[in-house]
Amino acid sequence: MKREHREPSFQLRDPARARALADLLRRHAPPDPVRIVHVCGTHEMAIAQHGLRSLLPKEVEVLEGPGCPVCVTPTVDLDRAVKLAEGGAVVCTFGDMTRVPGTRVTLAEARAQGADVRVVLSASDAVDVARKNPGRDVVFFAVGFETTTPGTAAVLLDAPPPNFYVLASHKLIPPALEALMSVPPIRIAAFLAPGHVSTVIGAQAYRSVAERHHVPVVVAGFEPLDILYAIALVLRQLREGRAEVENAYPRAVDEQGNLRAQALLSQAFEPCDAVWRGIGTIPGSGMRIRDELGRWDAVQAFPIEAEEGEEKPTGCLCSEVLLARAVPTDCSLFRSSCTPLSPVGPCMVGSEGACNVWYRYGGRPNL
């Protein structure tokens, strides 16, 4: 007799366990409304895709803050990349970055006008482009958080070819959490920390923000049960009046993080103040290429007068969304004049941007 083949249920998506966790969350709902902020487009996608907001008590609101690297890349850096491309360099970057509106044009529009702009999947792909085009200047426009910065550091430390340059616009997550806690008038009750960033920097990286601002920080993975469990830990901390760093993703994250990746980062970069689009300057939140590696730094190799960028398109609420003070549906342009095919602001461009995610999953706040 032919035996029926059944896939074992994936426990981290087990509906029965999710319902049990949702019951637990409801039983331990806080007496007053609380706002929990995550800073991760992957979290937002998991929350929307699996309808997790519909499982939360009505007192608990979960919002995405500045968790989309494309969304927070400032126009001054984007405009620099456009000028380098228009000036004859080959500019390599990630796909979403080519569609973000700059002061005048996007990188994709510059390409349509004849500039050489190429989409790559990694810094090492851009090095390959440089090796194959020894007669051209090749600039890697490097964006992203602690998850992507080690890849850029690795190529910088591996003697890249002389025609390769990095336009660095990397950002750090812990200073962003600090900055969010300083923004009035919204009171953030707790943070969910991004699991993938935390594999690099370790759970300990959030301790200072938790202690200084008396705010719980729970490291969360990306499966539905990971996120519900992390929210349960947040509610337990709030109920008990604690403000600690807890790791709800121990199968991937430990206290110290990836020490080899951290060593690469500190060999290639040093922290600096950085502008976050829609938010402004956050102290110590950027990564500047160290002077020893300055010959590969596009800012030093190609001094370009920065344009006074328009950070906020008219009517766009991206800055409020990035500060977790608004949700995409608060914006009157959402799904009308602003769509993924015709984005007005950066939060609709990046696949990790809150507006883009809400658009793709129906644009309903209680998804």
Instruction: List interacting residues with ligand SF4 (CB under 6 A).
Output: 316-318, 321, 328, 331, 333-334, 338, 344-345, 347-348, 355
When the beta carbons of 229 and 334 are compared against ligand SF4, the nearer one is 334
> What percent of the chain is helix, strand and coil (3-state, nearest 5)?
45, 20, 40
β-sheet bridge partners, residue 271: 287
* Nearest residue to 252 via CA among 284, 274, 223, 293: 223
Quote the CA–CA distance of 89 and 263 in Å, as a whole number.
Answer: 31
Strand, coil or helix: what is 134? coil
Min separation Cβ 327 and ligand SF4, Å:
9
Min separation Cβ 344 and ligand SF4, Å:
4
When the beta carbons of 69 and 328 are compared against ligand SF4, the nearer one is 328
Min separation Cβ 312 and ligand SF4, Å:
9
- Going from the C-alpha of 10 to that of each of 42, 221, 225, the distances in angstroms are 19, 15, 11
When the beta carbons of 119 and 326 are compared against ligand SF4, the nearer one is 326
When the beta carbons of 250 and 315 are compared against ligand SF4, the nearer one is 315
When the beta carbons of 138 and 317 are compared against ligand SF4, the nearer one is 317
Q: Which uninterrupted H or E stretch holds 23?
A: helix 15-27
324 contacts: CB under 8 Å, gap ≥ 6: 35, 37, 63, 64, 65, 180, 186, 188
Joined tokens for residue 145: 């958080």
Furthest C-alpha separation in the chain = 76
Min separation Cβ 88 and ligand SF4, Å:
32
When the beta carbons of 177 and 316 are compared against ligand SF4, the nearer one is 316
Min separation Cβ 227 and ligand SF4, Å:
23
β-sheet bridge partners, residue 164: 138
Min separation Cβ 67 and ligand SF4, Å:
14
When the beta carbons of 284 and 315 are compared against ligand SF4, the nearer one is 315
When the beta carbons of 197 and 338 are compared against ligand SF4, the nearer one is 338
When the beta carbons of 179 and 331 are compared against ligand SF4, the nearer one is 331
Residue nearest ligand SF4 (C-beta atom): 345
> For the chain, how many residues are written?
367
When the beta carbons of 11 and 314 are compared against ligand SF4, the nearer one is 314
Min separation Cβ 317 and ligand SF4, Å:
4
Min separation Cβ 198 and ligand SF4, Å:
27
User: Any idea what the Cα angle at residue 73 is, between residues 71 and 78, rounded to 5°?
Assistant: 120
What are the strands, taking DSSP E only, across the chain?
A: 34-38, 60-64, 90-93, 116-119, 138-144, 164-170, 190-194, 217-220, 245-247, 269-276, 280-289
DSSP string, 237-303: HHHHT---EEES-TTT--SS--HHHHHHHHHHEEEEEEEETTTEEEEEEEEEEPGGGGGGBHHHHS-
Q: Are 138 and 90 in contact (CB under 8 A)?
A: yes
Amino acid symbol at 20: A
Min separation Cβ 53 and ligand SF4, Å:
18
β-sheet bridge partners, residue 167: 141
β-sheet bridge partners, residue 166: 140, 297
Min separation Cβ 316 and ligand SF4, Å:
3
